[in-house]
Amino acid sequence: DTGVSQNPRHKITKRGQNVTFRCDPISEHNRLYWYRQTLGQGPEFLTYFQNEAQLEKSRLLSDRFSAERPKGSFSTLEIQRTEQGDSAMYLCASSPNYVVAQYFGPGTRLLVL
């Protein structure tokens, strides 16, 4: 069984540009989570999906951020009009349900210049 995969692994963009990240969860995991991690901090929750339904969004997720999970499989996280403060590691995790562990992907490191 392959783990969670994320693409791209690194992204450098200019302020004001839009970026999109992709996450492929472990197959048959119906829960998918997005977290953001800045330097020296633990991951912070952004949003999660159960199948294709987005069930919760953090206040960290401004209106420039949007996430989708069409057909309950892979997920995309889009940031519009990026700002330098968006520079962080974006982590995706999946789990079969909430009581077991979440398994994380390698993350996408975003740098906004």
Name the residue nearer to other proteins (CB basis): 25 or 105.
105
Residues of span 30-49 touching other proteins by CB under 8 A: 33, 35, 40-45, 48
CA dist 72 and 83 (Å) reads 29
CA dist 58 and 74 (Å) reads 20
Strand order, beta sheet including 19-24: 5-7, 19-24, 75-79, 65-68
The answer to whether 33 and 94 have CB atoms below 8 angstroms apart is yes
* Contact window for other proteins (CB under 8 A) among 16-24, 59-67, 74-82, 104-112: 104-112
Among positions 61, 79, 91, 110, the unique one binding other proteins when judged by CB under 8 A: 91
How many residues make contact with other proteins (CB under 8 A)? Answer: 24
Binding stretches for other proteins (CB under 8 A): 33, 35, 40-45, 48, 56, 89, 91, 93, 98-107, 109
